[in-house]
């Protein structure tokens, strides 16, 4: 066995890079020490799943078949050529009923900590984006369902500032929450096969049920964290959960690089108020084709008015429940305007321009976009987060998921990203090793890391 596995094989590099006995600490409470039949070694179970993700094998059944025939896989698991490999149902049962989301999270964090301990992480600049994963659900088996709209995490803060703005302008404050007076409901298409997935359709993509992995990585393409949602959840909605997790784990983050889907007043405000830099691209305004461009309507901060392309004033009218100040023109001035057909089609000849109460945060993000720091960080997106998604789909089999339910898909994605981090860690440690000699014994860590004994 030892002579049949090449010295520079990937699994040798992984075996010498980390101490897999740490897995016993993560699963100790899930096993009984004095009752029942002897179980399959949990390290073997995790190694089998890591093999599946490292080589992009589509199923556990196929993984077990490949392990039976592959000498390197057997060497990695510690099984001789005449020893039977655990049945794929045993692996599936353990990851479905025994190992919890917390167990998978500990494994993911442990591998990430090993990369940080080796000095390979660079979390000062991070890159956030989302990618869709096709769900295991038939597009033709669907139904319509009305669900309440999700409440925004910043709703109370926004309403407080809306009322302060209205009082400052001599208006009566609102009672209740933002949005409409009545609770909002929306009708969505739900899969009968996997109700927790969401309908995805964008551009030229074929309509399908999908999940979305909202992910953050550093400049070295190590995945720092991920949050999986249904495929119909917008990136900006899932941002808060992902941002809280990654900043709690890496408070040293200084620059957050995102695409145009994250360019909202709340996201810009949250990142800037945290003394961090949002690196965002240009976002084309949603103006009507053939009408005046948005930049021809100039906001005068001193007078709190908007000046139209014909140099007429649009005074402040009100602040609505969604946080937008409304500036409305005087109808008798617009009625005789020579370019009114390029400005508004309203029957009462009145133009309304809206401006969010947090608009100045968007303007700060625009200034950052033109700065050398903003240009440099955004330029790296194609080599970082986009490369991570491309590799995950092409090399590691993340284009579609064989699992159903959000919990199982989340565990599957996190294990896949853990395998990607582990491979990068092993390759870097092998490259930086002075002797590059392979030791088949596990690396023993002299001092146990206190991080793993925390609740």
- Exposure of 94 in the CB half-sphere (CA atoms within 13 A): 21
pLDDT at residue 147 tops 50: yes
Higher-confidence residue of 150 and 144: namely 144
pLDDT recorded at residue 455: 30
Mean pLDDT, all residues of the chain = 87
pLDDT of 10-41, one tens digit each? 999 999 889 999 998 888 888 877 777 778 88
Mean pLDDT of 333-348: 87
Mean pLDDT of 272-283: 92
pLDDT at residue 192 tops 60: yes
Length of the chain: 455
pLDDT recorded at residue 449: 36
Torsion of CA 259, 261, 262, 265, to 10 degrees: 130
Mean pLDDT of 234-244: 91
Out of 321-325, 382-386, 434-438, 440-444, pick the least confident.
Answer: 440-444
pLDDT recorded at residue 433: 76
Tokens 């023993």 label which residue?
Answer: 444
Mean pLDDT of 203-212: 84
pLDDT recorded at residue 415: 95
Angle at 425 between CA 424 and CA 429, to 5 degrees: 115
pLDDT recorded at residue 150: 64
pLDDT at residue 181 tops 50: no
CB 11 within 8 A of CB 20: no
Most confident of 59-68, 151-160, 345-354: 59-68
pLDDT recorded at residue 452: 31
pLDDT recorded at residue 284: 82
What share of the chain in percent tops pLDDT 70?
92
C-alpha span between 155 and 117 (Å, rounded)? 39
Tokens 């404050």 label which residue?
Answer: 173
pLDDT recorded at residue 434: 63
What share of the chain in percent tops pLDDT 90?
58
pLDDT at residue 450 tops 70: no
Out of 53-62, 183-192, 211-220, 358-367, pick the least confident.
Answer: 183-192
Out of 54-58, 130-134, 198-202, pick the least confident.
Answer: 198-202
pLDDT recorded at residue 177: 57
pLDDT at residue 335 tops 70: yes
pLDDT at residue 382 tops 50: yes
pLDDT recorded at residue 104: 94
Out of 44-48, 162-166, 346-350, pick the least confident.
Answer: 346-350
Out of 105-114, 239-248, 278-287, pick the least confident.
Answer: 278-287
pLDDT at residue 212 tops 50: yes
C-alpha span between 133 and 406 (Å, rounded)? 12
Position 448 confidence tier, pLDDT thresholds 50, 70, 90 = very low
pTM of the model: 0.87
Mean pLDDT of 184-190: 77
């Amino acid at each position: 066995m030892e002579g049949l596995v090449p010295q520079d094989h990937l699994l040798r590099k992984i075996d010498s890079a980390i101490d897999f006995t740490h897995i016993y600490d993560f699963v100790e409470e899930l096993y009984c020490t004095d009752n029942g039949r002897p179980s399959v070694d949990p390290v073997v179970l995790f190694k089998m799943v890591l093999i599946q993700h490292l080589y992009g094998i589509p199923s556990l059944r196929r993984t077990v078949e490949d392990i039976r025939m592959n000498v390197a896989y057997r060497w990695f698991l510690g099984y001789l050529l005449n020893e039977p490999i655990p049945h794929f149902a045993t692996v599936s049962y353990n990851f479905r009923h025994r190992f919890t989301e917390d167990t998978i999270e500990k494994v993911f964090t442990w591998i990430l900590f090993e990369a940080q301990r080796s000095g390979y992480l660079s979390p000062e600049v991070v890159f956030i984006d989302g990618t869709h994963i096709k769900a295991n659900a038939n597009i033709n088996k669907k139904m319509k369902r009305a669900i309440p709209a999700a409440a925004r995490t910043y709703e109370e803060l926004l309403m407080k500032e809306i009322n302060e703005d209205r009082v400052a302008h001599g208006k009566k404050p609102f009672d209740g929450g933002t949005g409409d007076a009545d609770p909002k409901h929306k009708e969505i298409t739900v899969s009968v096969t996997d109700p927790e997935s969401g309908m995805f359709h964008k551009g030229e993509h074929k309509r399908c049920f999908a999940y979305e992995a909202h992910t953050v990585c550093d400049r070295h393409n190590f995945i720092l964290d991920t949050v999986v949602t249904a495929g119909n959840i917008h990136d900006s909605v899932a941002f808060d959960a992902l941002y809280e997790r990654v900043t709690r784990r890496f408070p040293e983050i200084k620059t957050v690089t995102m695409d145009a889907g994250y360019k909202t007043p709340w996201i810009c405000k949250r990142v800037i108020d945290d003394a961090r830099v949002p690196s965002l691209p240009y976002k084309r305004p949603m103006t009507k084709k053939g009408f005046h461009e948005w930049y021809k309507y100039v906001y005068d901060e001193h007078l709190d008015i908007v000046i139209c392309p014909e140099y007429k004033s649009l005074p402040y009218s009100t602040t609505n429940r969604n946080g937008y100040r409304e500036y409305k023109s005087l109808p008798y001035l617009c009625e005789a305007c020579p370019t009114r057909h390029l400005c508004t089609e309203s029957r009462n000849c009145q133009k309304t321009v809206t401006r969010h109460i947090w608009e100045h945060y968007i303007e700060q993000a625009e200034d950052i976009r033109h700065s050398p720091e903003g240009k440099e960080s955004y330029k790296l997106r194609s080599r970082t987060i986009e490369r991570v998604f491309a590799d995950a789909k092409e090399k590691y089999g993340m284009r579609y998921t064989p699992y159903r339910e959000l919990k199982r898909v989340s565990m599957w994605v996190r294990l896949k990203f853990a395998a990607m981090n582990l491979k990068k860690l092993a390759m870097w440690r092998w490259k930086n090793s002075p002797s590059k000699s392979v030791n088949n014994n596990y690396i023993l860590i002299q001092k146990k890391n206190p991080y793993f004994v925390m609740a």
